[in-house]
């Protein structure tokens, strides 16, 4: 197969932990031809979506890890699979990219995850569709509602809807210290919608990333455990990743959501679970492949490429 990865610049990859890198290595090992391009390399002219793509070969070196051929302008419909692996921020530029990929689908491209499904599942707000698995949650830009929510629940987490890596997350305890300032900062004085959630004490045991591939959960999560007094377990915020078997509750959440999300065109999803509660549904570029494989031996990248191959075959 010809597999094209829409990703951030390859020079920025940290190969020891990058999930997209693991996907590329596995695809190349199976004899698939690997290509890469960035969102800025796409264009639509006279209704046809193309991109300047580069064929990529793996060197086996952990630093100088790839060789790239000269870019070639290519109709995206010519690829067997396009894997959307661009990281957030999920801003309007990201949305424009999904529009182009959606048009490319109509011209024969197979895109994973499905562009319209990525658009429809804000990684924070999507949990509100599955409230049976969440802690008390409020989505609003209204200060009075946020204050009432904090008064009711005491210890709460406030966060923006478009952040990643734990950026912009605040904890407000029962005394309400700095609540007004935090609301002003996150909402931009009421201009931006945010999320408030009741604080989940089990965060000290880790923010678990559960990977769901083709509707089925990987049997191990990566618990990202906060360090140095942080309330954020994100690896980007200094959390330590510890792989562990899924709990009965983890399986319940993943097995309930997996088939629903897969049917919507989400081949790969990263569910974030703290304790017994779902906190995020990650659909843009879920990670933690390598950490889980390194610590447990479970072949996450191979499982994912299996799913890509199966999805492409079934669509022919």
Which residue in 80, 123, 250, 272 is the catalytic one? 272
Clarify whether residues 72 and 20 are in a common domain. yes
Clarify whether residues 96 and 51 are in a common domain. yes
Active-site residue flag, 264: no
Active-site residue flag, 52: no
Domain span at residue 214 reads 202-315
Residue 106 belongs to a domain: yes
Alpha-carbon span 194 to 311, nearest angstrom: 35
Q: Looking at the predicted structure, is the pLDDT value of residue 166 above 80?
A: no
Q: What angle do CA 71, 40, 101 make, to 5 degrees?
A: 95
Q: Looking at the predicted structure, is the pLDDT value of residue 29 above 80?
A: yes
Name the domain count of the chain.
3
Clarify whether residues 274 and 295 are in a common domain. yes
Active-site residue flag, 171: no
Alpha-carbon span 84 to 114, nearest angstrom: 8
Q: What is the pTM of this model?
A: 0.94
Going by pLDDT thresholds of 50, 70 and 90, the confidence category of residue 167 is confident
Clarify whether residues 191 and 236 are in a common domain. no
Q: According to the model, what pLDDT value does residue 237 have?
A: 64
**pLDDT tens-place string over residues 120-149:** 999 999 999 999 999 999 999 999 999 999
Q: Looking at the predicted structure, is the pLDDT value of residue 66 above 80?
A: yes
Q: What angle do CA 44, 46, 50 make, to 5 degrees?
A: 35
Active-site residue flag, 124: yes
Mean pLDDT of 169-185: 96
CA 94 to chain centroid, in Å, comes to: 13
Which residue in 159, 162, 208, 250 is the catalytic one? 159
Active-site residue flag, 114: no
Of 199, 223, 241, which residue is a domain's last? 199
Per-chain mean pLDDT for the chain? 95
**pLDDT tens-place string over residues 87-123:** 988 899 999 999 999 999 999 999 999 999 999 999 9
């Amino acid at each position: 197969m010809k597999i094209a990865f829409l990703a951030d610049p390859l020079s920025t990859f940290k190969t020891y932990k990058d999930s997209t890198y693991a996907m590329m290595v596995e695809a190349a090992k199976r004899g698939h031809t690997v290509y890469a391009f960035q969102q800025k390399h796409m264009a639509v002219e006279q209704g046809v979506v193309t991109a300047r793509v580069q064929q990529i070969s793996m060197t086996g070196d952990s630093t100088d890890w790839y060789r790239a051929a000269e870019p070639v302008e290519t109709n995206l419909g010519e690829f067997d699979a396009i894997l959307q692996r661009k990281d957030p921020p999920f801003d309007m530029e990201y949305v424009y990219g999904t529009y182009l990929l959606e048009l490319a689908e109509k011209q024969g491209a197979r895109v994973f995850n499905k562009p319209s499904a990525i658009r429809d599942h804000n990684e924070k707000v999507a949990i509100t569709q599955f409230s049976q698995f969440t802690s008390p949650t409020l989505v609003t830009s209204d200060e009075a509602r946020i204050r009432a929510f904090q008064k009711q629940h005491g210890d709460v987490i406030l966060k923006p809807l478009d952040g990643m890596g734990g950026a912009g997350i605040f904890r407000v305890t029962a005394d309400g210290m700095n609540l007004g300032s935090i609301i002003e900062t996150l909402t931009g004085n009421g201009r931006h919608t945010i999320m408030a959630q009741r604080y989940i004490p089990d965060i000290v045991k880790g923010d678990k990333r559960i990977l769901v591939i083709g509707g089925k959960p990987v049997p191990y999560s990566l618990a990202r455990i906060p360090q140095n007094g942080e309330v954020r377990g994100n690896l980007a915020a200094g959390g330590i990743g510890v792989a562990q078997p899924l709990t009965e509750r983890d399986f319940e959440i993943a097995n309930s959501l997996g088939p629903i999300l897969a049917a919507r065109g989400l081949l790969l999803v990263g569910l974030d679970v703290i304790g017994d509660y779902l906190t995020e549904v990650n659909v843009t570029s879920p990670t933690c492949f390598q950490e889980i494989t390194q610590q447990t031996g479970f072949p996450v990248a191979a499982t994912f490429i299996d799913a890509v191959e199966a999805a492409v075959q079934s669509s022919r």
